[in-house]
Structure 1
Amino acid sequence: MKLTMNARKAADRTLRSLPGPSKAAAPDVDLLVVGGGPTGLATALHAVRHGLTVAVAEPRPSPVDKACGEGVMPGGVRALRALGVEPPGQAFAGIRYVRDRHRAEAVFRAGPGLGVRRTDLQAALAKAAENAGVPLLPVKVTGVTQDAHGVTAAGPDLRARWLVAADGLRSPIRRALGLDVPVPGPARYGLRRHFEVADVPDFVEVHWGSRAEAYVTPLAPDLVCVALLTAERAPYATQLAGFADLSAWLADARPVSTVRGAGPLRRSARRRVCGRVLLAGDAAGYVDALTGEGVALALAGAEALAGCLARERPDEYEAEWRRLTRSYRRLTTGLLAARRSALLARGIVPAAAWFPGLFAAAVDGVSHG
C-alpha cells in the first residue's frame, strides 16, 4: 500500500525525531515493531518499560480492526491493567458450552474476563504507546535485511538493533525469512459480526454445531459479538442458520457491523527467532481460536519477548514462547482432533456437563492465560 504524501511527510518527520544517527551502520532505535495491533503495541510498551527505544510501523489507520472473538481472558485483563490499559467493555463470569439440550458452564476463579471491541482494545493500547513516547509510523515495511549488528527495514529505511514481526497470521516477514511451515489438514476460518440485543449473557457462550462453533461474547449491556469458527466455505448467514437456538435468539437483533473474516487460522513457524528478527503473536504460530486465549497469550508473549531483549538474550524467547503456549497448543489440538470425529464432536458438550470438575479445571487453566 503506497503512502499518501501527507503520510510520507509525517513518517519522515517522526523518523528525523528518533534518537541516534540515521546511518546504515548505526541503529536509529533499539527495537522496530512491525504491526500496530495488540501484540505489537504491547511489545512496544514492555520494551519501553525496560528502557529500550522503540518505534512501531503500521500502515493502516487507527483503530486497526480484524476478525476476532473479542473476549479477553482474566489473565489478559490483568496483563492490560499492568500496562495501565483499561479499555471499555463488558465483564463476563466464565465460559458456557451449549449443544442442543446440553449445557456446561464454569466460572473463572481468577476473576472476570472482558468482552471488548477489537477497535477499542487497539485504540487504548495505541494511546498508551503514544503517551509512552513510542513513535507510530504510518509506513509499510517492504523487506528486511540484517547483519551481526542490526536490522534494516526497507520502506521506512529504519535501522534497529532488533525487529519484531507482529504482522499477523499471514506475516509477510515470516514468509520472507523462509520460516513458514506447511500445515496439513482442512483449513479453518473465522467470521465475525456484531448485533444489538435486548440483553446479553453473563458468560461467553460457545455453541457447538455439527460443523462449526459459534461464540457469543458480551461487549456492552446491549451488544454482542457473534463469531463463527468453521472449515466450511459458506456465507456467514448460511452458517449461522445452522445454530437453530442461536438464530432464533438473534431473529429480532439488529446487525450493527459488516461480516469480517480471517484465515486460514492455523499457522506454523520453523522457529520464533531468526538472527535479530523475532516473531510475535499470530505471526509466531497459531493453532485455532477454539479456546479464546489469543489476546491473553499475545500479551504474555509480548512481555516475555521484551524481557529477553532487555537482557540481551533474544535466543531465550523461543523457549519462553513454547512454555507460555504449551497448554494452549495441547488443549486446542486435542479439541480440534475431537472436532474432526463426528462421534467425538457430539460428545464434547455432554462430557463437559457430566464432568464439571474437569471442565472447570480446563477453563481455569485457560483463564490464567
Structure 2
Amino acid sequence: MIDLLIVGGGPAGLATAIHGALAGLDVVVAEPRPSPVDKACGEGLMPGAVRALDALGVKVPGRPLHGIRYVDAAGERRADAAFRTGHGLGARRTLLHQALTERAVQLGIPILPRRIGRVSQDDAYVTADGMTARYLVAADGLHSPTRRALGLAERPSGGRQPPRYGLRRHYRAEPWSDLVEVHWSAHCEAYVTPLGPRQVGVAVLTSEQLPYDIQLARFPLLVSRLGAADRTPVRGAGPLRQRARCRVAGRVLFVGDAAGYVDALTGEGLALALTAAAELVRCLREGRPQAYEPAWRRLSRNYRLLTQSLLWARNQPRLAPLITPAAARFPGLFQHAVNLLA
C-alpha cells in the first residue's frame, strides 16, 4: 500500500517525497515531464530555503547571496538589507530540480511518468488513475488541476488588484553584486539574481501584458549594465495570485504553489514550499492530517502579510514611488522585514 501518492514532481512535490521517505513512508511521485523541468522563476533562494535543502541532504550548485537591495528605476536611490541568518543562493531552476530528483532517486522513490486525472477518496483511501494510497499530496503547481477538480480554487476577492505575471530571461554577464537587486519602476519590478561566474537572471513582475524588452526598457541603469550580453529566450508564468479554500480536503493535502500563492514580490515561495513539505509529513506521521492546515497558516503568515502589504502599496499610484525611498530612509525597518522572511 502506498502511503503517499504525490501528484507533481517539482521542488515542492520532491521535497515532500524526500521527507516522506526519510520518515519511513512508502512514497510514489507522479510527474509526466522528464527532469529537469525549467520554469519562469526568480531563482533566488532565501536562507530559509537553503537550510531546508540542507535538512533534505540536497546540495544545489549556485552563487551565495548575502541580502536584498531595492533600487529605483534610474538607480539614484537604493537600500540594502543583509541576511542575518546565513546566506541565500542564486541557483538555476533546472539545477535545483535536478538535485532534488537525484536525492529522490538515491532514496529509491519511484517517479512515474504519469499525468494524474480523476481523483476519488473515501474514509480510508485515495484512488487516482488506478493507484491507491493512504494520502494524496497535490503539488501540481500554480494552476493546480487537483485543486480545481476538487472545487477548492477561489477567485481573488473584489477584483481590486490586477493580475500579475512573471517573465524571466538569463544573461551571459558578470554579476556586479552578491545581493538580489529589486529594481522598481512605476508599473513593474525587475529582479536581478546572480547565478554564476558569467550568468545573471532577470525576472520582471508586472500587471501589464507587454513584451519583456518593453518592460525592461523602464530600467535604464539595468539595461546599460546588461548591454549586448548574450541572452536566453523569455519564459513566463501567471496569473500569479491563486487562492485555495483550504490545504486539507479529506485525504488530499496541498503543498507548494498548489496550496495558494500571493505573489513573487518577496521571493519567498520556494522557502515556504520546502518548509511546508516537512510540516505536512510530520502531521501525517502523527496521524493528524487536519493539523497541517493551521501549521501551513502559521508557516506562511509572515509571507502572506508582508507580500499582501507590499503588493497593496505597489498598486497605490501615490505610494508606489515611495517604496524604495522609504526603505532607504528606514534601513532598520527594511532589514527587519527582509529577515522576517529570510
**Deviation, structure 1 residue 221:** 1.4
Q: Which residue of 2 aligns with 1:89?
A: 62
Aligned to 2:289, what secondary structure does the other structure show? coil
Q: Which runs of 4+ in 1 moved over 6 A?
A: none
Is 1:42–2:15 an aligned residue pair? Answer: yes
Is 1:283–2:258 an aligned residue pair? Answer: yes
Q: Which residue of 2 aligns with 1:270?
A: 245
Q: Which residue of 2 aligns with 1:230?
A: 206
Question: Which residue identity is paired with 2:189?
Answer: E
Aligned to 2:154, what secondary structure does the other structure show? coil
Q: Which residue of 2 aligns with 1:19?
A: none
Q: Which residue of 2 aligns with 1:245?
A: 221
Q: Which residue of 2 aligns with 1:335?
A: 310
Distance 2:275 2:25 in 1: 18
Q: Which residue of 1 aligns with 2:49?
A: 76
Distance 1:198 1:352 in 2: 27
> Contact between 2:27 and 2:110, CA under 8 Å: does it hold in 1?
yes
Equivalenced residues, count:
337
Q: Percent identity?
A: 59
Distance 2:189 2:118 in 1: 37
> Contact between 1:200 and 1:222, CA under 8 Å: does it hold in 2?
no
**Deviation, structure 1 residue 142:** 1.0
Distance 1:117 1:143 in 2: 33
2:127 aligns with one of 133, 152, 170:
152
> Contact between 2:193 and 2:200, CA under 8 Å: does it hold in 1?
yes
What does the per-residue CA deviation read over 1:284-331, in whole Å, with 9 as the maximum and x for residues that have no partner? 000000000111110000000010111111000000000000011010
Q: Which residue of 2 aligns with 1:52?
A: 25
**Deviation, structure 1 residue 92:** 1.1
Distance 2:175 2:249 in 1: 48
What does the per-residue CA deviation read over 1:36-81, in whole Å, with 9 as the maximum and x for residues that have no partner? 0000000001111111100000000110111100000001101101
CA RMSD of aligned residues (A): 0.8
What does the per-residue CA deviation read over 1:222-263, in whole Å, with 9 as the maximum and x for residues that have no partner? 1011000000000111111111111111122110x2111000
Give the TM-score of the pair, scaled to structure 1: 0.90
Question: Which residue identity is paired with 1:190?
Answer: G
The within-5 A match list for 1:167-186 is 167-183=140-156, 184=159, 185-186=161-162
**Deviation, structure 1 residue 33:** 0.4
**Deviation, structure 1 residue 198:** 3.0
Is 1:126–2:101 an aligned residue pair? Answer: yes
> Contact between 1:200 and 1:224, CA under 8 Å: does it hold in 2?
no
Distance 1:197 1:218 in 2: 9
> Contact between 2:195 and 2:201, CA under 8 Å: does it hold in 1?
yes
Question: Which residue identity is paired with 1:39?
Answer: A
Q: Which residue of 2 aligns with 1:108?
A: 83
Question: Which residue identity is paired with 1:333?
Answer: Q
Distance 1:201 1:294 in 2: 23
Larger gyration radius, structure 1 or structure 2: 1
Gaps of 5+ in 2: none
Give the TM-score of the pair, scaled to structure 2: 0.97
Distance 1:35 1:129 in 2: 13
Distance 1:170 1:318 in 2: 20
Q: Which residue of 2 aligns with 1:209?
A: 185
